[in-house]
Structure 1
Amino acid sequence: MYLVPASAKLDRVNHVPRDPSMSSFDDAIERSSVVKGFNIVRSTREHAPELAGNAFSCGNCHLNVGQRAHSLPLVGVASRYPQFCDRENRQVGLADQVIDCAQRHLNARVDDRESQSVTDVVAYITWLSKDIPSRYLRREDPPIDPSAFVPVSELNPARGADLYAKKCSQCHGADGQGVDLAIAHPGPLWGPESWSDGGDAARIYVLASFIRRSMPLLNPGAMTDEEAQQIAAYINAQERPRYAAKQHDYRGSTIPVDAVYYKQTRARITRASTRQ
């Protein structure tokens, strides 16, 4: 088994099919780097404070240290880079992606793709992509089919708030800052310690797809497509850190309709809401 199943509940939140500290390596230097990368993904602020400008860790989104199905798994990811990034309007390598993710979601200031912490995370992701069946090299199908997307202008943050209180607050708290669960501590969903307004998680459909398959950890996959989108709309209606370089995004492409923190998108949503 290379991935923890998406149906696994809270009691398996720390389980990993492949632990590099328990694995054999031909090269001691590679082993050291991979183990460090594993620890950084699991607890970023503790092991690489330069990559963590907030209370988030990579593992808050890449559940089970990137080894859980339908929770942004890192298994097989290395084989997909380099690739063209529409948002950046350029070709990016794996190290570029690690830095970009840290800047947008962990509010990190690091921009050195040769830094040891970035090198270690890349080493871990690369190790996860070695000697695995080819089916793990493909992207997973999206948890929510685009045909089921509710138009952003029709989503209701008030309904999302009600659903959040019923289905999410037990672990994430009424204030969205996370509850200490002893075996896990969910990261803040909004506020100064959460991801920035330029992150992938700041897009409603992206966040909803994660919620749909991965949450709540007490019963993953129990929500409907519509419920996940309403909750995502509520979460992404909150204040969060500003990504300073956001004005440079999507220079060569159209801003996605669910990227609600971009002023052009907000203007379109406002006009649509006014017409209703």
Structure 2
Amino acid sequence: MKRDGHIHTHFCPHGTKDSTESYIEKAIKSGFTDISFTEHAPLPNNFIDPTPMKDSSIRMDQLSPYMHEINRLKAAYQRDIRIRVGLEVDFIAGYENEIKSFLDDIGPSLDDAILSVHFLKVGNQYYCSDYSKEVFAELAAACGSVEAAYNLYYDTVEASIQADLGQFKPKRIGHPTLIHKFQTVHDEKIEDSAQILHVLQLMKKMGCELDVNGAGFSKPECLEAYPPLPYIGYAKSLGIPLVFGSDAHNVNGLHKHYEKFYTYLS
């Protein structure tokens, strides 16, 4: 079975205008039998998106049209491919109750979901850690160092894994080394292997799945998977379920780098 479990759509405000049908047709042509559309879930109403364009996620009023479109296509293509309707849900420290409430409402309607960390809290301010190299530099300065920013990220990922978000909490943890996105820019060698191993061990303990995310290979400031390949091998040795995710934000990115992960997924 060829599966891509992390795909964004034209509903994403920082994504593409490519039609959802074009994603599905490419998946079928590429021999994939199972895909999940996992659009960025609406952020909590009382959370202010720190990105300049406030475009990190779909709006709440877009959620129903998104769900309707994916469910319509799910039925239309049911003989050709399995399509799952899902969301990528942000874990935001301090907003656990709002996230749980949202999941309680939407969870019964989902086939799949990912829990990811993008936003980090320093004092009373939130930073979108993967937005740009400039924002990452601001985050590192606020934390006191690049290493401190990495530590905050892993602490937040661990908090997401352990958080009580109710019965519909996503099982899959998204790109758990996303903090590496700008590693060739800050040009500091951060020794974070212990944190990554601990995150994976905690995922095993809590019964999580791993988003084997290929998007970092396409980022010139990263040039590796999230997490890097040796850690994917370690996760497999622990028995953590692995789900490839292209994290595509356009048709061109769909299934990209899948061949790099084949031996881990087989």
Please, what TM-score do these two structures have when normalized by structure 1?
0.28
Structure showing the higher strand proportion among its residues: 2
Q: Normalization by structure 2: what TM-score?
A: 0.28
